[in-house]
Structure 1
Amino acid sequence: MSAVAIDTAAPTALPRAFWALWVCQLVNRLGSFVQPFLVLYLTHDRHLSAGTAGAVAAAVGAGSVCAQLVGGWLADRAGRRVTMLICFFGTGAALILLGSARSMALIWVTAFLVGLLSDLFRPAVQATVADLLQPTERVRAYGLLFWAINLGFSVSTVSAGVLASFGYGLLFWVNAATSVIAGLVIWMMVPESRPAPEEDSVRRALLPVVVRDTVFLLMILIQIGYATIYMQGYSTLPLAMSDDGLSSRTYGLVIALNGVVIVLVQPFLGRWFVKLDRPKLLAASMLVVGLGFGVGAVVHSWWGYAMSVVVWTIGEIGFAAVIGAVFADLAPVDLRGRYMGLSGMAFGVGTVIGPLAGTNALEYLGPTVTWLGCAVLGVVIFIGQYSLAPALHARAAANAATA
């Protein structure tokens, strides 16, 4: 990977509002117990089949897909702050409803609402960071947010595994409480950052701009492929480990390695990543994620699965460090929230496809084919992303010249 020119001056202090977002992300993830254990909860407590549980998890993903569009639109029209407040307070209520749902109809509806409300904040947060910071500071800022998320995640997965052994219901209540606390942080410490439109400006519709943006559309397709692979860690992996006789507590400890590796490694890799070619780093990171899940084809013990998690986590660190900055560089200022929403929607589409494809492949084709499929898809999206590197550089340069 070739190095790119960067500003070697000492990094400037990040604004107070950014650090409030950092705290919000940390608190929210400290209690994010439900998603990693949703499939196990549905199969063990609600006695649903693996395919049905995967479909419910996909309903959460479907809500996430809608959330990206709604959240991006709200962030641009109503404001970033309002969007985040709706997200966190609404998610708390939706989680309580999902945890108390008994009928399948209510489970489906509340699962969709959890996905819809919990992901409204993503385009708003991404847009707020782009509003507050110059392009040279964005990789650092997005990396710090990613680190905060996983600092909380590394704690939540271990504690959730222990709490789950006493019953899954408690997970929903704690998750809801931390979501409300995160909303209070936004309420007290994060002002509105949406740029004020110029007096003579005309509000542009999103669709006519996007359909002509070929580079952006190809990036969306690649992100869907990446998310499809990544979601196996929270849908197929726990079932595969259970089939190998490993407990839910073991899964909690193994998946917690994802957060632990990120917390320990990301600050060091982040300093190196800013010196690298971003599109090519993105391509290599996606490849590592695919190959990391491919390791699952040859392992059946806890330490084998742990090794797989460590490998794909390294790839995830690279992906998360630059993906937000790449999309921020691509987005027109007046459509920034909606562009970020479409980026998140692509990931949401993958959260729908991933659980459905992975759990059904595991059930009907077996673990070897399932994990090898992840590796093959990783190679495919690596080739696609690497091929887009020149076009992405040209777009970033053009946007910087007109900023």
Structure 2
Amino acid sequence: MATDVPALPKAFWALWACQLVNRLGGFVQPFLVLYLTQERQLSAGTAGAVAAAVGAGSVVSQLVGGWLTDRIGRRRTMLTGFVGTAAALIALGSASSMASIWAAAFGVGLMADLFRPAVQATVADLLGPRERVRAFGLLFWAINLGFSISTVSAGVLASVGYSLLFWINAGTSLVAALIIYRVVPETRPVLIEQVRRPFLPVALRDATLLIMVGISVIYAAIYFQGYSTLPLAMAADGLPSSTYGVVLALNGVVIVLVQPFVGRRLAEKDRPTVLAVSMALVGLGFGLGALADSWWTYGLSVIVWTIGEIGYATMFGAVFADLAPIDLRGSYMGFGGMAWGLGAVVGPLVGTRVLDSSGATTVWVGCAVLGVGLFVVQMLLAPALRARAARADLEHSVA
């Protein structure tokens, strides 16, 4: 007899549509360096530094978004983020001086990720612990479906004019805001109105949270080798940039095709174990790069670490939701997102430096070793995570 799968609420599907629309129009960041070097005639170094300003804004955004989610509410935070992103994108596309470009770039990063902790907190508010894994998996799928489409269409639109990318990206942010305004209610628990503890003292006493954040930083640092050292290593093997594009496209293809079929099955598995195995797969997947020298061997590497990425992304939000006290749910989600942002900064810096000094093989072997190490640490942390999950389940049942 088939097990009935609970229907997800209308508000969740509105969040899903927001994620999809937001990524469908996510043209500017992937093409920002090309816009700055080709349209604005900036040097590659300056363009890279401006892109780093976007990344710095994104790291801050996760913390600010989490704080706002708990203080002014989920809905207001999401509306602020989407409308603010539209304004920042228009400002960046029309900036005429370096000072205004720097300020607008930081503003784009600050606003563009403001909504993420609010979305994750809303999902945790709407759904019980058992349904969250499936929900977060579907959101991850929507993001990658939108990204897969936008990367193709952005290239066509850029040939018409880069300014069009800014306006369409801003327009989709406003559409996402309209969906939130019309469909998504405020879900912040009433308890938050009565108890407003400061986040930092609570977080610093939460050893399980701090370990998970440290694990997440290292995991993200491994993952972002795919966007930093991987293209350089493939070029050193004599493969053209077009081949890198094809190989990396496998990442999106695998996610779009596989995620819908494994999401429900993953929801039934032990979360810490899935996280541990996923981290090991990502590390070992990159480790296969040590044996790669052709498009298909690099492609195999991408497929392996993408399978690990699916497991990690599906479980990540649910695990942090289990860890979060009800009055600090948004801040906990933002803290987890900040870890991802830090890894995105640290990973490329360390990876490219090791590549220059010791070669690609050292990078890939290092990724494999780190992946196995994360597996061990995650399994050691598993009993604490299961205990927190059981407590979250009990609290939800009582509520």
TM value normalised by structure 1: 0.88
Q: Does 1:80 align with 2:84?
A: no
- What does residue 85 of structure 2 align with? 91
Q: Does 1:339 align with 2:335?
A: no
Return the alpha-carbon distance in structure 1 between the equivalents of residues 117 and 145 of structure 2: 21
Query: Is residue 221–residue 346 contact of structure 1 (8 Å, CA) maintained in 2?
Result: yes
| 5+ residue gaps, structure 1 | 1-7
Return the alpha-carbon distance in structure 1 between the equivalents of residues 95 and 361 of structure 2: 35
- What does residue 106 of structure 2 align with? 112
- What does residue 181 of structure 2 align with? 187
The two structures, once aligned, show a CA RMSD in angstroms of 2.7
Q: 1:71 to 1:398 in 2, by over 3 A?
A: same
Aligned length: 393
- What does residue 151 of structure 2 align with? 157
Q: Does 1:386 align with 2:382?
A: no
- What does residue 32 of structure 1 align with? 26
Task: Name the SS of the counterpart of 1:203 in structure 2.
Answer: coil
Q: 1:370 to 1:110 in 2, by over 3 A?
A: farther
Return the alpha-carbon distance in structure 2 between the equivalents of residues 28 and 394 of structure 1: 35
Percent of residue pairs identical: 67
- What does residue 204 of structure 2 align with? 211
Query: What's the CA shift for 1:167?
Result: 6.2
Return the match for 2:319 from 320, 326, 338: 326
Task: Name the SS of the counterpart of 2:191 in structure 1.
Answer: coil
Query: Is residue 282–residue 308 contact of structure 2 (8 Å, CA) maintained in 1?
Result: yes
Task: Name the SS of the counterpart of 1:70 in structure 2.
Answer: helix
Query: What's the CA shift for 1:35?
Result: 3.2
Q: 1:390 to 1:401 in 2, by over 3 A?
A: same
Summarize the alignment of residues 244-393 of structure 1 with structure 2, pairs less than 5 Å apart. 244=238, 246-247=240-241, 250-393=243-386
Query: What's the CA shift for 1:44?
Result: 6.2
- What does residue 397 of structure 1 align with? 390
| 5+ residue gaps, structure 2 | none
Return the alpha-carbon distance in structure 2 between the equivalents of residues 74 and 226 of structure 1: 27
List per-residue Cα deviations over 1:110-157 (Å, max 9, x = no partner): 332222111101100000001111111111111111111111112122
Q: 1:104 to 1:355 in 2, by over 3 A?
A: farther
Query: What's the CA shift for 1:56?
Result: 4.0
Query: Is residue 286–residue 382 contact of structure 1 (8 Å, CA) maintained in 2?
Result: yes
- What does residue 223 of structure 1 align with? 216
Q: Does 1:174 align with 2:172?
A: no
Q: Which moved more, 1:295-304 or 1:277-286?
A: 295-304
Query: What's the CA shift for 1:183?
Result: 1.6
Q: 1:198 to 1:68 in 2, by over 3 A?
A: closer
List per-residue Cα deviations over 1:263-298 (Å, max 9, x = no partner): 110112212212221101101111111222233344
Query: Is residue 129–residue 392 contact of structure 2 (8 Å, CA) maintained in 1?
Result: no
- What does residue 4 of structure 1 align with? none
Query: Is residue 128–residue 393 contact of structure 2 (8 Å, CA) maintained in 1?
Result: no
Summarize the alignment of residues 231-246 of structure 1 with structure 2, pairs less than 5 Å apart. 231-241=224-234, 244=238, 246=240
Q: 1:360 to 1:35 in 2, by over 3 A?
A: farther
- Higher normalized helix content (fraction of residues): 2
Q: Aligned partner of 1:290: which letter?
A: G
Return the alpha-carbon distance in structure 2 between the equivalents of residues 367 and 100 of structure 1: 40
Q: Aligned partner of 1:354: which letter?
A: G
Return the match for 2:16 from 18, 22, 30: 22
Q: 1:356 to 1:94 in 2, by over 3 A?
A: farther
Return the alpha-carbon distance in structure 2 between the equivalents of residues 325 and 212 of structure 1: 21
Return the alpha-carbon distance in structure 2 between the equivalents of residues 167 and 359 of structure 1: 32
- What does residue 139 of structure 1 align with? 133
- What does residue 124 of structure 2 align with? 130
Return the alpha-carbon distance in structure 1 between the equivalents of residues 298 and 28 of structure 2: 21
Q: 1:364 to 1:103 in 2, by over 3 A?
A: farther
Return the alpha-carbon distance in structure 2 between the equivalents of residues 37 and 369 of structure 1: 30
List per-residue Cα deviations over 1:188-244 (Å, max 9, x = no partner): 211111112377x33211122111110111001001111112223334444555564
Query: What's the CA shift for 1:250?
Result: 4.8
Highest RCO, 1 vs 2 (Cα 8 Å, sep ≥ 6): 1
Query: Is residue 118–residue 330 contact of structure 2 (8 Å, CA) maintained in 1?
Result: yes
Query: Is residue 29–residue 152 contact of structure 1 (8 Å, CA) maintained in 2?
Result: yes
Return the alpha-carbon distance in structure 2 between the equivalents of residues 240 and 57 of structure 1: 22
TM value normalised by structure 2: 0.88
Return the alpha-carbon distance in structure 1 between the equivalents of residues 51 and 348 of structure 2: 7
- What does residue 68 of structure 1 align with? 62
